[in-house]
Amino acid sequence: MPPADKHLLPDRVTVDELLRRAAAKDPDRVAIVTERHRLTFAELDAAADRCAAALSGTDGAVGLAMVLDPAFATAYYGIPRAGNVVVTMNPMLRGHTLEHICRTAEVRTAFLTSAMLEELAPALDRLPQLRTIVVMDGPASVPGTLSFDAFMAAAPAHPATPGPATAPDEPACIQFTSGSTGAPKGVQLSHRNVVANAVQVAVAHGLDESSLTVNHIPGYHLMHLNSAVYARATQVLCRDADPAASIELANQHKADRLYSLPVWLARLAADPRLPELRLDTVQAVLSGGSALPGGVARTLTEHFGVPVLQGYGMAETSPLTHCDRIDRPKWDSVGYPVTGTECRVVDVDRRTPLRYREKGEVQVRGPQLMLGYLGREHAAEIDEDGWFSTGDIGLIDLEGALFLTDRIKDVFKCDNELVSPTEVERVLVTHPLVADCAVVDFPDRFSGAVPFGLVVLEPSHRAADETRALDAIVEYVNAKVAVFQRLQHIRAVPEIPRTATGKIQRRTLREQVRADSPMAPAAR
């Protein structure tokens, strides 16, 4: 690929123009492949036109379920083409969160799955502004709703003349945060933010018009869609949760990039079928959404002979700010700042920049940084110089690679020493009896707070041997960590609650361990 228009597209380019340009340059190249569909860029562009025509005359925000389907891409580019703002929605959200998003963003039209509609149905009377609901995955069984096919078929043959051109600094998309530390916040991203990040991702991932990616993710993500459309790369959508299915699909289509989640890659690394699996053409496996354990990356890299990398970002940064290098990966690092992005680490209390290898809060700035939060005039997280405080704790090495340790809200002090739950988890998960784990803080009258471990035991140790297994795990971990990091309590649990992207829901666990008593004490 050429040098990405010097890594930045002209300022006038809007999100939907990414698709328009791809269709003009390479109309017959296949854009999206599923088991039922095979759309070229010209066909996807025409479908986006029909969607925009069907939305003609509507105004306000349009909610869109992030289903791993061409319908998402069609609506995603059609909505801004009609002059509206996209509000992305995770298909796995529950009713109260969907209601919060629709009310906060003032969603007037919503493209939902049938399961999402069922979740939202009890709240519809409380959402009078929500006038139109389109069901994306089947017939419209609820009165007053439309199927996606019916919605598209109703598009006028001669749509109205489009209004004034959208400015690049106007909102293109509203994404809501995961809500792991409070009510989900609406992140406003401009066309300039999203387009800039599409280019940054394409450059960081080495995508061009010859690339073919397999997206083994539970829902569509703007990062994957926009970067592929910018680069005119083909995307194959894998909707099978079995990690081995993504390997088979990658080989079948001769993919050169495979996108997955840490939780699925961890399952793949432990899968008894792994010795039989090979990647024939894939040059890199890329992971995101939450931390990828270094042991998993090593296991898969050594087995497949290709780098298994992770990146870093958040809704507020469109999302990518960092990506590891394909030609020289660093285990446990999230990599280096993407094109046009700056990163530094500051003292948590004094807010002064720290030197290399000193741990503090990570700050970033770049063209992908959000306009701000919905309903808030100013984002306190962005200072007057444009630095965004991420809330993540980390350090930068001498080569500029970023290493993350925890969230500010997750770290705690034990005997006045800062404890990173993630650092303890990295040791805990290496014990052969541990299938999954999490560490949270637990109040202590003498130390302030102490580490509390929750573990999912391997199936063979979930019955009579549980107490012995927990004792062995505590002894193993406490011999390998600092005194203030030692587990003071431990409990076996059936599963670790995680978000759709694999992040540990520590707030939920923290509430559970504080509500349940007594707990199983660990040896001090």
Q: Residue 151, Cβ neighbours under 10 Å: how many?
A: 24
Examine the pLDDT at 317 and tell me if it is beyond 50: yes
Examine the pLDDT at 162 and tell me if it is beyond 80: no
Give the mean pLDDT of 177-204.
Answer: 88
Concatenating the DSSP letter of every residue in 230-257 gives HHT-EEEE-----HHHHHHHHHHHT-SE
- Give the predicted TM-score (pTM) of the model: 0.83
Look at residue 135 and give its three-state secondary structure: strand
* 6 band by pLDDT with thresholds 50, 70 and 90: very low
Half-sphere CA count of 225, side-chain side, radius 13 A: 24
Domain span(s) for CATH 3.40.50.980 in the chain = 41-190
Domain span(s) for CATH 3.40.50.12780 in the chain = 240-407
Examine the pLDDT at 522 and tell me if it is beyond 90: no
Instruction: Look at residue 416 in the predicted model and tell me its pLDDT.
Output: 67
Look at 422 and 19; give whichever has higher pLDDT: 19
Instruction: Look at residue 97 in the predicted model and tell me its pLDDT.
Output: 87
E strands, 153-208, are: 171-176, 186-190
**Contact yes or no for 428/453 (Cβ under 8 A):** yes
Domain span(s) for CATH 3.30.300.30 in the chain = 412-515
Per-residue pLDDT of 87-145, as tens digits, reads: 999 998 888 889 999 999 999 999 999 999 999 999 999 999 999 999 999 998 888 89
Instruction: Look at residue 182 in the predicted model and tell me its pLDDT.
Output: 59
CATH class of the domain comprising 240-407: alpha beta
Instruction: Look at residue 523 in the predicted model and tell me its pLDDT.
Output: 44
412-515: CATH topology: GMP Synthetase; Chain A, domain 3 (3.30.300)
Examine the pLDDT at 521 and tell me if it is beyond 80: no
Q: Which two tokens stand for residue 362?
A: 């990570």
Examine the pLDDT at 352 and tell me if it is beyond 50: yes
Examine the pLDDT at 8 and tell me if it is beyond 90: no
Examine the pLDDT at 9 and tell me if it is beyond 60: no
* 307 band by pLDDT with thresholds 50, 70 and 90: very high
Separation between Cα atoms, residue 390 and residue 373, nearest integer Å? 14
Instruction: Look at residue 408 in the predicted model and tell me its pLDDT.
Output: 79
Per-residue pLDDT of 245-281, as tens digits, reads: 999 999 999 999 999 988 789 889 989 999 999 999 9
418: region left, alpha or beta (phi > 0 left; psi from -120 to 50 alpha): beta
Give the mean pLDDT of 426-448.
Answer: 90
Instruction: Look at residue 524 in the predicted model and tell me its pLDDT.
Output: 37
Give the mean pLDDT of 153-160.
Answer: 80
Q: Which of 44-48, 265-269, 402-406, 512-516 has the highest mean pLDDT?
A: 44-48
Concatenating the DSSP letter of every residue in 49-112 gives HHHHHHTTT--SEEEEE--SSHHHHHHHHHHHHTT-EEEEE-TT--HHHHHHHHHHTTEEEEEE
Give the mean pLDDT of 396-412.
Answer: 89
Examine the pLDDT at 283 and tell me if it is beyond 50: yes
Separation between Cα atoms, residue 174 and residue 61, nearest integer Å? 9
* 520 band by pLDDT with thresholds 50, 70 and 90: very low
Instruction: Look at residue 142 in the predicted model and tell me its pLDDT.
Output: 87
Examine the pLDDT at 3 and tell me if it is beyond 50: no
Average pLDDT, the chain: 90
Examine the pLDDT at 310 and tell me if it is beyond 70: yes
Which residue, chain included where needed, has tokens 């199936």?
459
Domain 41-190 in CATH 2.60.40.10? The answer is: no
